[in-house]
Amino acid sequence: MINDKKVLYSGMQATGNLTLGNYLGALKNWITLNEEYECFFGVMDLHSITIRQQPADFRKRARNLLALYIAAGLDPVKNCIYYQSHVSAHAELGWILNCFTYMGELNRMTQFKDKAAKHSDNINAGLYTYPVLMAADILLYQSDYVPVGKDQQQHLEITRDIAQRFNSIYGDVFTIPEGYYGKRGAKVMSLQDPSKKMSKSDENPNGSIYLMDDSDTVLRKCKRAVTDSDSEIRYSEDKPGVSNLLEIYSACTGKSIEESEKEFDGKGYGEFKPAVAEAVNAILEPMHKEFERILKDKAYLDGIIKENDDKARYFANKTLRKVRKKVGFTDIPH
């Protein structure tokens, strides 16, 4: 607990391009959390290298992600927005916690199986121990809450198990984190296959709207979005494509699904799809301008990175010192 506020921790990987789903499902909801919580949001670049990265592109994407956090509305003064790889305590605690994690626990991780199937030519140890590094990320900041979706539930559970195991041996070292289930973000599905989530790694570029897509691209993707032969615009399980577009429209405009259905009652897809694109562009265009402004001001962005990295190191090292002492490492002479 910092300044009487509970701590909330989250982050995104510096791989691929963020989608509208990442924004509406998570990032948009992060913006006001600092009013209630002390928030740490990482650019998770250590996690990103389980997949081979082209170094120059990787550096650019990581910087772009941090700039996009700010452009999307995360205040870098009220939130700690930092690079995971700039805080060496992540890697050190990750190794220590590896020694308190059982193979059987890691063997049960479904995300490892999914990722190993996707990257069968590069099934590395980092991919296998990924949940342990994630546990270190969370536990370093004595996090009370972690926003979790279904796909991260297992990772939170193993984090809690590792923390409880460590605490049972050495006393009250780590805060046991809980899932944060606040206001539900919009569940945004692929525009081409509404049975799947909109994803950074979708092989069909028309399936995802990326946060840096220009207005013409957004309009084209919305017009190509899969719907059905029945032209009625209503939210229903038997109309997944239309329901997805209604979810997007409602999330971007702030209207309820019912209000959105009423607005397009009696209208066809020819009017509905461009209206969805217009609502999306109303969100993205100001974000693009702010993003460009931030990236151009190198001194401003470098200053934010330094200040936030320093803050993250301070809190992370506080926990790490306690852990080092508990496990019996020799003190570093000063």
Catalytic (active-site) positions: 115, 197, 200
Q: Which two tokens stand for residue 334?
A: 């000063």
Pairing of strands 178-180, 145-147: parallel
Pairing of strands 37-44, 80-83: parallel
Q: Which one-letter amino acid corresponds to residue 90?
A: H
Distance, C-alpha 37 to centroid of its chain: 17
In this structure, are residues 172 and 205 in contact, taking their beta carbons and an 8 Å threshold?
Answer: no
In this structure, are residues 49 and 15 in contact, taking their beta carbons and an 8 Å threshold?
Answer: no
Q: What is the dihedral of CA 250, 255, 261, 262, to 10 degrees?
A: -160
What's the number of CA atoms in the CB half-sphere (13 Å) around residue 212?
12
Distance in angstroms (rounded) separating the CA atoms of residues 74 and 295: 15
* Contact partners, residue 230, CB within 8 Å, separation at least 6: 239
Distance in angstroms (rounded) separating the CA atoms of residues 258 and 262: 6
> 213 vs 18, 73, 161, 216, 248, CA distance in Å?
10, 18, 41, 8, 16
Q: Which one-letter amino acid corresponds to residue 316?
A: A
Distance in angstroms (rounded) separating the CA atoms of residues 233 and 214: 26
Pairing of strands 80-83, 6-13: unpaired
End-to-end CA separation in angstroms for the chain:
28
